[in-house]
Chain A
Amino acid sequence: MAPNSIHWFRKGLRLHDNPALREAVRGAGTVRCVYFLDPWFAGSSNVGVNRWRFLLQCLEDLDANLRKLNSRLFVIRGQPANVFPRLFKEWKISRLTFEYDSEPFGKERDAAIKKLAMEAGVEVIVKISHTLYDLDKIIELNGGQPPLTYKRFQTLISRLDPPEMPVEPLSDTLMGCCVTPVSEDHGEKYGVPSLEELGFDTEGLPTAVWPGGETEALTRIERHLERKVKQSANFQRTNKRFQLYEIHLNLFLEMNANSLLASPTGLSPYLRFGCLSCRLFYFKLTDLYRKVKKNSSPPLSLYGQLLWREFFYTAATNNPRFDKMEGNPICVRIPWDKNPEALAKWAEARTGFPWIDAIMSQLRQEGWIHHLARHAVACFLTRGDLWISWEEGMKVFEELLLDADWSVNAGSWMWLSCSSFFQQFFHCYCPVGFGRRTDPNGDFIRRYLPILRGFPAKFIYDPWNAPESVQAAAKCIIGVHYPKPMVHHAEASRLNIERMKQIYQQLSRYRGLGLLASVPSTNGNGNGGMMSYSPGEQQPGTNNNNNNNNSHCKSRFNPAEAIFFFS
């Protein structure tokens, strides 16, 4: 009796390189591809309109591509744990397939579903294809702990076998005799909803700068590689070593005003949703390199974008508190300020620093910002200027940023705020100078903050320093039409460097005067050099409250202290 299969889409929203999907159709009688719209999308319901739209476009694309194979996508409202038992019965399911989700929340959810499936006599097949490697193998190779430095991570993966080749896309041939029963009212019951149906007001919503879907992703990757070939061709004429260098995904060398804008070859949101297989990308890069460099072995830096993503997935997979400061063994306890007003100014692009506000405007409007722009705004919010917790910034990115998934977003925020991963904290991105050096003319600012268009390049990054005449000519008085700067950067950075130094010196027990030596260095296995360094604890034996990882206590006081007090 040929099985009836369900393939459960979560990420991995594609038909190419989808080994779990292939397992669903292999020798099956029927297959139904489902997607659940449940409130736990990406671990929270904090999702903005751009992200919803991107997702819906991905689902539409999947549905369209499945139609070409005489199949359809089944979009189901509700939570998997509640709905699956009914579906197993109704559709007489004996096989359930899905792509492995390495995130702690995902693993928990999947364990529960596996149990349900077992009870219903349903075979469960899970395949790894959202990451290049089996992350558990990396952790095993590192003695049971995820590597906490990128260099250590690179060393480990260079010892592993290369990633598995992408598998063939789903096709008529692969489908074979497998069919999808589609009812007349499929559209009503299981169709992809629209943004309006989800409750969004779409009047005046500009077209998506980043259109979702596998089809778009596959077009983009070809464009992306073409661009790399052109660049390498250019340099072949000049200098051999530069040619090697240019193929590397080192974005900084190409950094100019244009890099800040959304690129038609940008791939990060597609990787996040799984519209583009990371393994496909990996192998296409490898092929390209070999073509240009005639069969030599590609350096790891070629895959930078993919490996960073892999690094954060690995760091997060066994740590359910990866996105928190409290109770997170790899996160330094920093006394961040709670300041909802200041946070709102940052999130809503009203800081009074055009560079920061333009970036946050682009983020809200389009859903993507360049990685250096991310560094700038993350530094400004946390250790640079506002001294607000990285968790707050992470939540804002989660809402607005198309490629921010749980592991990568939390990990990057910890990195950029110097809360983990043994980062040096001395380099502070100046909210005026950094932007000015990247885009001296200020075109980026003018594009996203039209109110400042009238300012000359000289003053557009610090318009509060412009003489009144210039402000009047620009028809924009600072403090009236555009906010004054919300902090005094020199003073804020002086204070914050001092704070960071105090914290790190306490952690590393360093008593010297050096700024660099305050940060403990790692030993070979990237697990922390000094025996006593453990970012989640502060020193014992001190009369200090915040020693205890009482992360689950709601009280602002250590509850046991109440026992002292009878007098």
Chain B
Amino acid sequence: MKRVFIQHKSPPPDARKKVRRELSEASEVVPASDVSEYDWSRLPQELLLHIFQYLPLLDRAYASQVCRGWNQAFHMPELWRCFEFELNQPASSYLKATHPDLIKQIIKRHSNHLQYVSFKVDSSTESAEAACDILSQLVNCSLKTLGLISTARPSFMEVPKSHFISALTVVFVNSKSLSSLKIDDTPVDDPSLKVLVANNSDTLKLLKMSSCPHVSPAGILCVADQCHGLRELALNYHLLSDELLLALSSEKHVHLEHLRIDVVSENPGQHFHTIKKSSWDAMVRHSPKFNLVMYFFLYEDEFGPFFNEEIPVTHLYFGRSVSKEVLGRVGLHCPRLVELVVCANGLRPLDEELIRIAKHCTQLSAIGLGECEVSCSAFVEFVKMCGRRLSQLSIMEEVLIPDHKYSLDEIHWEVSKHLGRVWFPDMMPTW
């Protein structure tokens, strides 16, 4: 073992001041005359721990080089509860990666300390595989939270499924008290969910699994049936079923806090199933405060099954063009709506639809309109009706069409007046 011995270096004045303050609060009172000769290597470990927790990893590492005592403190378990592994390849990312030697160290010395772990991978398969390799080695690990995050393209989907599943299973089996799991865009499947449930049903509170194509409605239903503490769930619409909603509303189940649903069209003209109003009603009865977040990425003509009956959605995002007619239905059937964001609508004014939304969606506090058209008068009317509850109003400048009552320059004063704060539409550079 090659070791570099570094002289005691006097820490910077502010650190010294900090320690002095800490010292006076500690049970041991040191006479003032001794402070300047205080031996830094004898600083109590609890104090070191407290200080180190303020430092980013790099600074801590530098500190750990100062002396043996500080090096020991650096390796205290409490400092290794959280870690974010960043796995990037120079060919596919501009960002730096966690050093492989550091990773080895962590696995060797700290894997049983780790509790809150996330993996951020870039779009290369290599990075995702490296993440799986690390996961496979965390056999002494009892994780509380695990996040698998792809920062660009979903590279976990490129990893051979068996490799991914076996790595994930290691975590599920060893953890036994997993409370939060983020596995969006991964090849997780029904059998692995069963393993998750078998080991962690008492503790699982949060599960995010949008775009996991190998999971079936039955698979997720199994989770809902067994994990009664589940409070937050994110998945794709094809996994949603009446049974799932009923399971989440069963007496044994805690109140649900967030349900996030992504509705994504694979091919034009895709047909989507409907969810019964009674299932939604059951959800609301069971969890009156729950938030239902729905993101739609559909072609205009695929909205047939949606918004025909009352639905308790609170946050709605239309990521592609949505028709005037559908927005009209939203106004009628979404009384709990808090946020509405529309990417694009087209070239017919949404005056009536907006007024209707202002009237019926009494909880609405945020609205965003992209490529749409609204006449200035209708817009002012809308803002008047909503009043100060509108804390977010993001309207692209081109949306507002001046009419006989208001020009563009006048409208922002009117709107600001009703909002109770200075407001301007969003602008795009034109040069």
- Interface, chain A (partner B; CB < 8 A): 150-151, 239, 241-242, 244-245, 248-252, 268, 299, 301, 304-305, 308-309, 311-312, 325-326, 333, 335-339, 371, 375, 387, 389, 403, 408, 411-412, 415-416, 423-424, 426-430, 433-434, 437, 465, 488-491, 493-495, 497-499, 502, 513-517, 540-548, 550, 555-558, 560-567
Contacts and interface: CB of A to CB of B under 8 A. Distances in A.
A426 B341 contact: yes
Contacts of B53: 541
B243 interface: no
A513 B94 contact: no
| Chain A to chain B: the 4 pairs with minimum beta-carbon distance, closest first | A427-B370, A565-B101, A335-B151, A337-B152
A246 to B, nearest CB: 10
A426 B368 contact: yes
A408 B430 CA distance: 11
A239 B339 CA distance: 36
A560 B430 contact: no
Given A426-B317, A426-B394, A490-B297, A437 B346 contact: yes
Interface string B83-117: 11010101111111111011011001000000000
B92 A338 contact: yes
Nearest to A516: B392
A14 B163 CA distance: 67
A547 B56 contact: yes
B96 A557 contact: yes
A494 B211 contact: yes
Contacts of B152: 335-337, 387, 499
Given A336-B94, A515-B341, A424 B426 contact: yes
Contacts of A544: 56-57, 84, 86
B92 A337 contact: yes
Query: Which residue, of A305, A429, A433, has the highest number of chain B Cβ atoms within 10 A?
Result: A433
B408 A565 contact: no
B86 A433 contact: no
Given A424-B426, A545-B57, A565-B105, 16 more contacts: A151-B424, A241-B407, A245-B407, A251-B430, A301-B408, A412-B431, A427-B371, A433-B321, A494-B295, A498-B184, A498-B210, A514-B339, A542-B84, A558-B58, A567-B104, A567-B105
A550 B96 CA distance: 10
A556 B97 contact: yes
B429 interface: yes
Contacts of A433: 320-321, 344
Nearest to A433: B321
Contact of A337 (B55, B153, B258): B153
B97 A545 contact: yes
A564 B151 contact: no
Among B56, B91, B96, B431, residue most surrounded by chain A Cβ atoms (within 10 Å): B431
B58 A513 contact: no
A416 B430 CA distance: 11
Contacts of A242: 402
Interface in B244-268: 258, 262, 264-266, 268
Nearest to A271: B431
26 contacts: A151-B427, A250-B408, A333-B95, A338-B94, A371-B429, A424-B426, A426-B343, A428-B319, A430-B321, A433-B344, A489-B320, A491-B297, A513-B258, A513-B315, A514-B315, A515-B317, A543-B82, A545-B57, A561-B102, A562-B99, A564-B61, A564-B105, A565-B101, A565-B102, A566-B4, A567-B108
Contacts of A309: 431
B62 interface: yes
B96 A244 contact: no
B179 to A, nearest CB: 17
Nearest to B300: A433
Interface string B174-192: 0000000000110000000
B368 A424 contact: yes
Interface string B118-130: 0010110000000
A229 B407 CA distance: 19
A365 to B, nearest CB: 21
B contact residues, range: 35 or more
A545 B96 contact: yes
A301 B425 CA distance: 13
A245 B64 CA distance: 66
B2 interface: yes
A415 B101 contact: no
A451 to B, nearest CB: 23
A514 B366 contact: yes
A564 B317 contact: no
B262 A494 contact: yes
Nearest to B65: A563
Contacts of A338: 91-94
Contacts of B391: 517
Interface string B309-342: 0000011010111000000000000000011010
Given A412-B431, A426-B370, A561-B61, A490 B92 contact: no
Nearest to B427: A150
A335 B341 contact: no
Contacts of A546: 86, 95-96
Contacts of B265: 490
Given A426-B343, A494-B262, A415 B429 contact: yes
A545 B88 CA distance: 11
Contact of B99 (A150, A371, A557): A557
Looking at B1, B56, B366, the one whose CB has the most chain A CB atoms below 10 A away is B56
A278 to B, nearest CB: 11
Contacts of B319: 428, 490, 493-494, 497
Nearest to A503: B151
A308 B58 contact: no
A424 B392 CA distance: 11
B159 interface: no
B178 to A, nearest CB: 20
A242 B408 CA distance: 10
Given A339-B123, A565-B101, A375 B428 contact: yes
Contact of B154 (A434, A495, A557, A563): A495
A438 B368 CA distance: 21
A122 B295 CA distance: 66
A408 B431 contact: yes
A208 to B, nearest CB: 21
Contact of A423 (B56, B297, B426): B426
A335 B93 contact: yes
Contacts of A150: 427, 429
Contact of B430 (A249, A424, A540): A249
A498 B209 CA distance: 13
B349 to A, nearest CB: 14
Interface string B386-402: 00000110101110001
Contacts of B99: 557-558, 561-562, 564-565
Q: Point out which of A248, A337, A542, A564 has the most chain B C-beta atoms below 10 A from its C-beta.
A: A564
B430 A371 contact: yes
B149 interface: yes
A154 B135 CA distance: 53
A545 B185 contact: no
Contacts of A268: 431
B92 A339 contact: yes
Nearest to B410: A241
A251 B96 CA distance: 42
